Amino acid sequence: MKLKTLVLGTVAAAGALLALAAPASAYIACNREGDCWHTEGRWSAPGVRYDYHPDDWYFHRRWDDGRYHWRDYHAGRGYYRNGLWITL
């Protein structure tokens, strides 16, 4: 009985470590107009091009240089165009 408990505990601990070690899939997407927003996946839309950056890219940018414009997070699939959210 103790061996079974030990094995189950070890399996549970290994599963917890594996779940915590998995990388998060979060990105910063930017379009050609300089609109940038947080996204959880890489989407594609016909005729629209995005540049994807790692989630921490936000902290390494100067947002006051006028090139990029940070937009609020928006749930669901879509993209920003000239500051407006377009739902896919």
Asked if 36 contacts 27 with a C-beta cutoff of 8 angstroms, the reply is: no
pLDDT digits (tens, 9 = 90+) for 36-62: 999 888 888 888 889 999 988 988 888
Query: How far, in Å, CA of 70 to CA of 11, rounded?
Result: 43
Average pLDDT, the chain: 79
* In the predicted structure, residue 5 carries a pLDDT above the cut 70: no
- Supply 63's token pair: 């947002």
Task: Say whether pTM exceeds 0.75.
Answer: no
* In the predicted structure, residue 27 carries a pLDDT above the cut 70: yes
Return the H-helix or E-strand segment holding 71: none
- The residue ranges of every structural domain in the chain are 27-87
Angstrom distances, CA of residue 15 to CA of 8, 10, 76: 11, 9, 29
> Is the model more confident about 85 or about 45?
85
